[in-house]
Structure 1
């Protein structure tokens, strides 16, 4: 359906002129060239519609999901003030965006701030709950959009630093991670709190669930939480990215030695500007990092409690002039971090699920760019790797 409407513009989606102006500035291009991505064209009108309270937006990585939910939220906050006379209050965010990592908090807030230059609203990201830092930020003016993790949000409520009494919009970004990685109960409690607040109000809450993958377990959870959930998914979901060249290297050639296989892949692709290597564990990242150093290959390690600060490591990796062109990471880098500059993803360890595979290889070939992914395949990895290769070859959904 979408492909028959390639001439769709942001101005066709029900966005107000000032929001369109913000998009134009954000995308830094001419108005007549701005085209919404598939998920944006499908989601924005639905999210703006008062008929649809609970909406799922699922699309492949790098497809523009952040703008797909942010633009409707910003417009509705604006309408609430202008049309319904909603007053902004200190410590009372009107929209809550939950994400699984600190890195994604800062990335979403960065997008909010760029849009807020045109549409005047205030966003705040809380990565860690430090009273000395958070209280002055909350006291300096009303917060329209609060971006944080479920754990930090629960702490903010427990310490009575914020109230959800005015929160009408809630977004759960990277929902597969939020519900599958231990935050499920925190998310349920927050959903329940907001729904209880709005139970007797004429204007109900609006929940937006956003994800790049939809494991069956998450599907089941969402169906229980939101029986009338409107589901928007792109045809590309769980399929191989069109601009991604994927190759699978059998470790038999290297007598099972992953380190030698990695070194050969790095040498063969020496012209790649930025390479992201994934390992399954923190210990593996440390070992690979140390081993590459003995081979005079400079690399940045990224994992929880790494010796280099995570923000500093990511900044250095993103800088084309830094000389830090290889990063070795756990799955901490597989979701929500801006990696449009990554040319090559190498799966040193093969992931344990198709969902993790899609997230990892989705760190390159994003937003219309081209990229490549190389997977090192040991004996225990072959069954899943063969299944993925078949899906790539046939263009079918990866299950």
Structure 2
């Protein structure tokens, strides 16, 4: 039995890995809603006005089943250039093997390239990481080219003496993209993707680096900084400025033109949310300070005068800089002085006028005042219309939130919280969000007791036709590290070589395990041989395991979200896959509820819950109650 199996230590993973290497033929990654080509876009700005908050974003209607590959790729765009990506990045994507955009990329890229905040929620394996990396690379390179051209023009103008003192006062800082991930493994995966995009000289088109306690930042900031929220907060609190002012909190905030939260649903809850909230608050405050400083210089406003500026004008400043302030009615110092002089002249003239003509002079004064207001308004309008040439550009940070699950049924859900904080964000969701792909084969087996568990696991692996053909890449999920060690020993004892992947396994062994999958998947004609990995949920989120043919839940997922991420490891990028779920009495309510939703092709969001809350709800009602319908059960 599994529970009586001898549990070897994590260090034993290395010898087992060596054994596996020998067995392989190759050596050991709202509101208003409109549907566009099967994917839902939600403009969240008017959510509270037209629909209840719990309906944001809506779950898309199931689409007719299509061929797996056809359903994955974009329907209308055949190239990344058609979606707005600059030629240099499009060519790099082609060279890296990304020949066509996916359906999710087809919809997300135009919104990201437009500069809008975006919440991208789409099923696992839909190409979400590239959906933000490609436009970020395009915008960073395009902005760098424009800045270089402007600098060259300014240098030429200075050389011939034609430079103007009213030229743009935007700070000359290198912009970067900041990508936040839950853990180091996901950070490394993002860096590998960025580094895989080659430039004309063969080197990476843009540079990326990871910042952590063990990897201090480089002297020169790269184009993309990838880190965890906790590591970045620690850097700011400890010794970030000792690596240079660019690595202080103010330095990063002033350069990070783009902030991405990958696996956003995880980052916005639990132990991550405190650090993420601290960073977002700091970035928002930093944006305001930078814009204020620039506007004060442009409009010649002193610190003391700024303190007296009404808040309505400050809010206009934060939203659109000097042009927005002028449009809101703010008058520059020269206009204020001119108005004061005119008022003084009017008062002096009124004092010299005889009392007998006071009625006539009062009427004339009112007419003159009206003319002055009209002239001032015309002046403001004129200055506002030409302000694009006089003021800015200002730092406008763009926020992207990316996730495979985005609960949005109750006010405590991550989706609702994001909608409150980023009211103008565009929501992009895949048509299979919170659903299981139709080209996944599911096998459900209820165990009558723990004595059946080991035999069922061995049978699930050895009975797999792909395994019998020597072409299987099997991912076995265990509930914790101890159980994972036990399952690995059990499989090895039954003649099934395997590798371990969890936090207690040495990093070298984890890296080799990922490489085993990648090498086997890359081998032509299935020549890579069988690869079996035993893992905790460390491999369920974000980790790119190429071409997993079979997912086996030796221990059933404790939540529907966990189930969705596990199942999402297979059938990625339009390929087929298989899932075997073993469950006992303790897991039966959740497992059989999910089984019904999967068989009916329905989104499983109604099954979302925390582990303890799900158990309490079942105990209270004596059965599974869909999320959001608890109140109906009381009547």
TM-score normalised to structure 2 length: 0.57
- Confirm whether residue 260 of structure 1 aligns to residue 466 of structure 2: no
Q: Is it true that 1:297 corresponds to 2:297 in the alignment?
A: no
**Residues 59 and 154 of structure 1: is their aligned pair in 2 closer, same or farther, counting only changes over 3 Å?**
same
Q: Which residue of 1 aligns with 2:395?
A: 203
**1:140-289 to 2 correspondences below 5 Å:** 141-158=220-237, 159-160=239-240, 161=243, 162=247, 163-164=251-252, 165-199=254-288, 200-201=290-291, 202-216=394-408, 217-252=413-448, 257-269=452-464, 270-271=467-468, 272-289=471-488
Pair 1:311-2:529 in alignment? no
Measure how far apart 1:388 and its partner are: 1.7
Q: Deviation per CA, 1:162-218, whole angstroms, max 9, x where unpaired? A: 231211100001112222341111111111222222124233210000001113421
Length, aligned pairs only: 382
TM-superposed CA distance for 1:24, in Å, is: 1.6
* Larger displacement relative to structure 2 (242-251 or 342-351): 242-251
Asked whether the 8 Å contact 2:259–2:398 carries over to 1, the reply is yes
Flag structure 2 segments of 5+ consecutive residues without an equivalent.
1-35, 40-73, 151-170, 292-393, 521-526, 606-635
Could you tell me which of 2, 25, 37 is aligned with 1:2? 37
Q: Is the 8 A contact 1:303 1:332 kept in 2?
A: yes
Among 96, 106, 115, the alignment partner of 2:188 is 106
Larger radius of gyration: 2
Distance 1:18 1:352, change over 3 A: same
What SS does structure 2 have at the residue aligned with 1:305?
coil
319-328 or 166-175: bigger deviation: 319-328
1:62 to 114, 125, 130: 125
Structure 1 contact 300–317 (Cα < 8 Å) conserved: no
8 A Cα contact 1:81 1:87, kept in partner: no
3-state SS in 1 of match to 2:533: strand
Report the TM-score, using the length of structure 1 for normalisation.
0.89
> Which whole-Å CA distance do the structure 2 matches of 1:81 and 1:184 have between them?
33
**C-alpha distance in 1 between matches for 2:205 and 2:98:** 19
| C-alpha contact 2:180 2:261 (8 A) present in aligned 1 | yes
Q: Judging changes above 3 Å, is the alpha-carbon distance between structure 1 residues 75 and 28 closer, same or farther for their aligned structure 2 residues?
A: closer
Distance 2:595 2:230 in 1: 37
Q: Which has the higher contact order (CA 8 A, sep 6+)?
A: 2
Distance 2:565 2:395 in 1: 36
CA distance in 2, matches of 1:8, 1:81: 27
CA–CA distance in 1 between the matches of 2:281 and 2:129?
24
Q: Indicate conservation of the 8 Å contact 2:434/2:564, yes or no.
A: yes
Task: Call closer, same or farther: CA 1:87–1:312 in 2, change over 3 Å.
Answer: farther
Aligned to 1:39: 104
Structure 1: gaps (5+ residues): none
Is the Cα contact below 8 Å between 1:94 and 1:144 reproduced in 2?
yes
1:125 and 2:214 equivalent? Answer: no
| Structure that is richer in helix per residue | 2
Kept in 1, the 8 Å contact 2:75–2:103? The answer is no
